[in-house]
């Protein structure tokens, strides 16, 4: 079964709006695990506008499922990963002030840097995943620099899915097949939702993990987090 990792950044955004500890990010993560989520994802940014570095340390102490830290591989980020030892670090090409991820890496152009980072994280015992577009050449390049997995950037799929699901999924099928040929794992994330996740999952049989935050937290406003996680898990069965 494809694993569901819940990105809890939006919970931290809500907490930070009042400057106190409500909602409690750690408690929310533990509840997500209790309700069936198989992982927790955080994306700490330099300005700490949602997840803080102190949250990362606190979460590492209590999370029993898979902990995934994603972010741009600055020296500060890499040191945070090395101190925390999550199960997985996902490398994204975001600029420091970027609102949200909007593209994958050009792994070919950044091969030397990414190769060194993969080696460094492997030395720390951390699985590495590189965020890429649904492009077989980028998937292949990620395997060549030593990544354990790629995470496919799925916003293009989500945008096209309502009008042409078959065309939306086609490049992702090709990229997934290339990951299988290269012998690396496959994750996916960005704008996956209850509306488009089941179709994506049915067509990508080697999908290891999806990381979902914004849509899942929005759904939880109406359904509650327990029911929301149950419905996302149903999409992955």
Q: Which residues are catalytic?
A: 43, 70, 190
The H or E element containing residue 187 is strand 185-189
Q: State CA 128 to chain mean position distance.
A: 12
Task: Kindly compute the dihedral angle of the four CA atoms of residues 138, 142, 143, 144, in this order, to the nearest 10 degrees.
Answer: 100
Please tell me what DSSP assigns to residue 77: H
What is the C-alpha separation between 224 and 46, in angstroms, rounded? Answer: 30
Structure token digits, residue 14: 């809500």
Give me the count of residues in the chain: 237
Contacts with 59 (C-beta within 8 Å, 6 or more apart), sequence order: 25, 26, 29, 40, 42, 67
Select from 141, 167, 138, 168 the least CA-distant residue to 154.
168
Rg (CA), the chain: 17
Contact 63, 37 (CB under 8 A): no
């Amino acid at each position: 079964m494809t694993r569901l990792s819940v990105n809890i950044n939006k919970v931290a955004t809500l907490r930070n709006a009042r400057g106190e500890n409500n909602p409690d990010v750690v408690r929310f993560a533990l509840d997500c695990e209790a309700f069936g989520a198989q992982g927790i994802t955080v994306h700490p940014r330099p300005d700490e506008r949602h997840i803080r570095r102190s949250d990362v340390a606190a979460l590492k102490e209590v999370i029993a499922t898979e902990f995934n830290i994603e972010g741009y591989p600055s020296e500060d980020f890499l040191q945070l990963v090395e101190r925390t030892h999550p199960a997985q670090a996902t490398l994204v090409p975001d600029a420091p002030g970027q609102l949200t991820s909007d593209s994958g890496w050009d792994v070919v152009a950044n091969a030397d840097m990414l190769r060194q980072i993969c080696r460094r994280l492997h030395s720390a015992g951390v699985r590495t995943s590189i965020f890429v577009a649904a492009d077989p050449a980028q998937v292949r390049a990620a395997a060549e620099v030593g990544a354990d997995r790629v995470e496919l950037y799925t916003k293009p799929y989500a945008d096209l899915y309502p009008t042409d699901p078959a065309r939306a999924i086609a490049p992702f099928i090709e990229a997934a097949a290339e990951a299988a040929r290269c012998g690396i794992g496959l994750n996916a994330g960005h704008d996956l939702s209850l509306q488009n996740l089941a179709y994506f999952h049915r067509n990508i049989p080697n999908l290891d993990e999806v990381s979902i935050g914004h849509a899942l937290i929005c759904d939880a406003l109406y359904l509650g987090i327990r029911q929301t996680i149950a419905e996302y898990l149903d999409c992955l069965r």
